[in-house]
Amino acid sequence: MDSGGDHLETQLAAYLGGNEDVKWRLTNAQSGVVRESGGTETATQPGRGYGAVAAITNRRTLFVVGGGADDGSDDVASIPHFEVAGIDYDADPLASRLVLTTAAGSTWRFTVREPDALSEVLAYVRDRMRGAEHVTAALSTAREYREGATRADDLAVQARRYDEAVDAYRRAVDLCTAPPVSADVDTTTVREEVVDVVAEAIDAHLERAREARSRGNWEFQAGDERAASDHLSTALDAFERAVELARQCPPGDADAIADERAALVSKLEDLEVRASVAAAGED
C-alpha cells in the first residue's frame, strides 16, 4: 500500500465489505500502529514507500499498514465499533495519536496526520461503542469465577477456579483503568475485591498443598514411596503457586510459604535418593 493518495484509496477499498461506508481516513507515513496487550507492546510499521491508514467506517475501525506483515503484505486489523471499550486521543508538540481500547483489553495507538478530524471521530465511535457495558461484563465474569471457586468441593478444582478468578479480575482492572475507558466503576472497590480474591486463592493453594503433603507423609509411613512422591509433587506444585501469588499481592506471606516449600523439596530429594539406591540394589 503506497503512501500516495490514489494508491492508498485503491488498497483500502480491497479490505472494505459490502455496504461499508468510510467516514474518515486517518493516515501516517512511517509510524504505523502500536498494539499493547498484556503489558507487551507490538509496533507494526509500513514497509519502505508504503504508508498506514486508520479507516473509520460505519461498522468498524480498520487499521491497514502497507507492507507491514512479515511476508511483505499489508498488516490488517479490524475492530468493530461494538467491541470498543474506550476511545480517545493524546497529543504532544510533535504528534497526535488515536487511542482505542477493545473489550479484550488491547490498546491500539495510531499517529495521525489529520488531528483536526479526531474530535468528530471520537464522537462518532462513542455513539456506537458499548464502552461501559464491556467493563460491567468483565467484572461480572470475574465475580462468577470467584463464586464458582467458593462452591467447588474438590481442592484441585477450587484452586484452579480461583486462578481463573484472579486472571479475570486482573483483566477487568486493566480494562476499567485503561486511559481511554470511561465507566461508572468504583475502582477502589474493585481493587479491594482483587486483593481479597488473591488472598482466597493463596489459601486454596495452601490447603491443597498441605492436604497433599499429609497424604504423601501417610503413604511414606505406609511404605509406598512411589505414591508418597506423587502426592508430595502435587503439594510442591501447589506451594509454588501459592508463593507466586503471595509475592504479587500484599496479603500473602511469601517467605513463610517458601519455607514450607523448601522443606518439602528436601523431603522429595531424599525420596529420589532412596529410590535411586533401591534401583541400584535391584540391579
pLDDT digits (tens, 9 = 90+) for 13-48: 889 988 899 999 999 999 999 999 988 999 999 988
Q: Identify the CA nearest to 78 among candidates 108, 48, 51.
A: 108
Question: Taking a C-beta distance cutoff of 8 angstroms, is the pair 99, 192 a contact?
Answer: no
User: Residue 37 in 3-state DSSP?
Assistant: strand
Residue 277 pLDDT level (bands cut at 50, 70, 90): very low
Q: Is the pLDDT of residue 201 over 60?
A: yes
pLDDT per residue as tens digits for the range 100-139: 999 999 999 999 999 999 999 999 999 999 888 888 999 9
Give the rounded distance of the alpha carbon of 159 from its chain centre: 20
Residue 252 pLDDT level (bands cut at 50, 70, 90): low
Residue the block writes with cell 480494562: 175
| CATH dotted code for 5-129 | 2.30.29.30
Q: Per-domain residue ranges for the chain?
A: 5-129, 132-282
pLDDT recorded at residue 50: 86
In the predicted model, what is the mean pLDDT of the chain?
87
Listed in sequence order, the residues at least 6 apart from 64 whose beta carbon sits closer than 8 Å to its beta carbon are: 1, 11, 12, 15, 52, 53, 55, 74, 75, 76
Residue the block writes with cell 506483515: 69
Q: How far is CA 91 from CA 38, 56, 119, 182, in A?
A: 24, 19, 12, 19
Q: Is the pLDDT of residue 182 over 70?
A: yes
Cα atoms found within 13 Å of the Cα of residue 61, Cβ hemisphere only? 29
Percent of the chain with pLDDT over 90: 54
Strand order in the sheet with 84-91: 40-44, 33-37, 107-112, 96-102, 84-91
pLDDT recorded at residue 5: 52
Q: What is the mean pLDDT of residues 84-90?
A: 94
The pTM score is 0.73
Give the DSSP letter of residue 92: -
Q: Is the pLDDT of residue 262 over 60?
A: yes
Residue 83 pLDDT level (bands cut at 50, 70, 90): very high
Percent of the chain with pLDDT over 70: 90
Question: Taking a C-beta distance cutoff of 8 angstroms, is the pair 198, 166 a contact?
Answer: yes
Q: Is the pLDDT of residue 220 over 90?
A: no
Q: How far, in Å, CA of 174 to CA of 163, rounded?
A: 17
Q: Is the pLDDT of residue 249 over 90?
A: no
Longest dimension (CA), the chain: 83
Report for 108-122, 215-229, 256-270: range of highest mean pLDDT: 108-122
Question: Taking a C-beta distance cutoff of 8 angstroms, is the pair 137, 82 a contact?
Answer: no
Q: What is the mean pLDDT of residues 145-167?
A: 95
Residue 92 pLDDT level (bands cut at 50, 70, 90): confident
